[in-house]
């Protein structure tokens, strides 16, 4: 008897709010009664490096890391980062990608170039792509820092967790004075998906 494990992958660059989005996802799954495992990156990789957060939930979960081809949804706060992790997404799985570009120093110092055709690459790599500028969306709602919640809202359309669980989880994870903003950001993300 093998029960289904749902896997969620969030990627970005240190400081973009990847960990908060994964915490909200984990708590939403907990609220429904699932067993949850998560993994996050600490240490050296946080200094400007690529950051991933894994969340897995189901009746029984073993590995805390998402295996290849198993993520139901992949969300990214940065434009090209998700391409590195495409192998983790299920065939046809939803990818939600923000148009935000974080320029690495390898580009600034001329050792590498930032792909000019990032959007076209994303369309080819992810047949099921939702693409928008999450920072602009969040800014229009009043605060660019809520970009992670816009992405998460769009990602939530590929998951079966109920709306109440998300609401409860967001309420538990953000400061009360930012709750209204974050709920609107999440709702905006659901509209965009």
- Residue 44 interacts with other proteins (CB under 8 A): yes or no: yes
Beta bridge partners of 13: 50
Find the part of the chain contacting other proteins (CB under 8 A) among 58-66, 148-156, 159-167, 181-189: 58-66
- Residue 45 interacts with other proteins (CB under 8 A): yes or no: yes
Which of 120/191 has CB closer to other proteins? Answer: 120
By CB under 8 A, the residues from 112 to 151 that bind other proteins are 112-115, 121, 124-125
Which of 110/176 has CB closer to other proteins? Answer: 110
Least distance between other proteins and beta carbon 170 (Å): 13
| Interface size with other proteins, residues (CB under 8 A) | 53
Please pick, from the candidates 59, 63, 142, 180, the single residue that binds other proteins as defined by CB under 8 A: 63
Residues in contact with other proteins by CB under 8 A are 2, 13, 19, 23, 26-27, 30, 35-50, 61-65, 67-68, 80-81, 83-84, 86-87, 103-115, 121, 124-125, 172
């Amino acid at each position: 008897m093998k029960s289904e494990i749902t896997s969620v992958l969030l990627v970005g660059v240190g400081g973009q709010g990847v960990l908060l989005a994964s915490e909200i996802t984990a708590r939403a799954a907990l609220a429904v009664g699932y067993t949850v495992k998560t993994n996050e990156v600490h240490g050296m990789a946080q200094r400007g490096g690529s950051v991933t957060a894994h969340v897995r939930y189901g009746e029984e979960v073993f590995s805390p890391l998402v295996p290849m081809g198993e993520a139901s949804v992949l969300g990214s706060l940065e434009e090209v980062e998700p391409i590195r992790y495409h192998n983790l997404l299920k065939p046809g799985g939803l990818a939600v990608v923000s148009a935000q570009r974080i320029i690495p120093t390898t580009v600034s110092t001329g050792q590498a170039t930032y792909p000019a055709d990032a959007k076209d690459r994303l369309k080819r790599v992810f047949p099921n792509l939702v693409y928008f500028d999450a920072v602009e969306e969040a800014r229009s709602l009043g605060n660019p820092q809520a970009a992670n919640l816009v992405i998460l809202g769009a990602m939530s359309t590929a998951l079966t967790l109920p709306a109440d669980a998300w609401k409860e989880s967001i309420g538990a994870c953000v400061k009360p004075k930012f709750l209204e903003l974050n709920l609107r950001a999440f709702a905006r993300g659901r509209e965009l998906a």
